[in-house]
Amino acid sequence: MNSRAMLLKRLQVCDFVLTEVGLFLDTHPNDKEALAYYHKYLALKQETQTEFTRRFGTVSRYEPKNSDTWDWVDNPWPWDNSEG
């Protein structure tokens, strides 16, 4: 796995924790432990997303890599395999 794939995987893991804990919180909105876990991973996801964006380009329209380009449209898109 190259470094882009490795960092992307870390970002996907963070996202996934938020998805999973979020679903639990939907039916347990007052669970303090789950809330703390969610917020911990929210911070981690933000950090990971910022690093990924800086090194490999925009992955969120609300966090563009810079304001001189619209690299949002650049390949690869998520459904491309590692051979591009």
Partner 1 sequence: MWSYEKRLEYPVDIKNPNPALAKVIISQLGGPHGELGASMRYLHQRYSMPYGEVRGTLTDVGTEELAHMEIISAILYQLTKGMSIKEIKDSGFDTYFVDHTAGIYPQFASGTPFSAETFASTGDVIADLSEDLAAEQKARLSYDNILRMVDDPEVRDPIRFLREREIVHFQRFGEALSLVNEKLDSKNFYAFNPAFDCQKPRRRR
Residues 37-66, one symbol each (x = binds partner 1 by CB under 8 A, - = not), give ---------------------xxxxx----
Among 2, 33, 67, 78, binds partner 1 (CB under 8 A): 78
Size of the chain in residues: 84
CB 65 within 8 A of CB 57: yes
Residues that bind partner 1 (CB under 8 A): 5, 8-9, 11-12, 15-16, 19-20, 22-24, 26-27, 29, 58-62, 72, 77-79, 81-83
